Copies of this chain bind each other. A is one copy, B any other.
């Protein structure tokens, strides 16, 4: 699992975009100024965000980026997935092959559970929540309700 500043930058940029939605297409240079992220780097990030269908682009003068979905439909997990590679907690290649030279390692269930735990959080929180600066404890409660139904 990797949770680096690349993912943080991407989330910050998307939240910024969400906060200026009503102004029409938002240029990367304006996001760059507000969020202190270099333009070149933003271009790299938004390429991936676009390829993942999270934003739409408008080319030419007056162009920029727009969110492709409603703010409550875009989760933090969506963004992290778009810019980072897959979030892995185990080192096992496949489920069948196992991680420990044939057999499954003693800590397999631990890392799997941790992965679920983190993903539940990231998949539950949307950029709408971040814009509202929500009290995330409420979100964690919702997460647990989901878990209890298992």
Contacts and interface: CB of A to CB of B under 8 A. Distances in A.
Interface of A: 1-3, 5, 8, 11-12, 15-16, 19, 36, 76, 89, 91, 100-101, 105-107, 109-111, 113-114, 117-118, 121-122, 125, 130-131, 133-134, 136-137, 139-141, 143-144, 147-148, 150
Number of copies of this chain that the complex holds:
2
Chain B CB within 10 Å, residue with most, of A91, A114, A125: A114
Main secondary structure of the interface of A (DSSP, over half): helix
Chain B CB within 10 Å, residue with most, of A111, A137, A140, A141: A140
Given A5-B91, A110-B130, A36 B147 contact: no
A3 B5 contact: no
Nearest to A131: B106
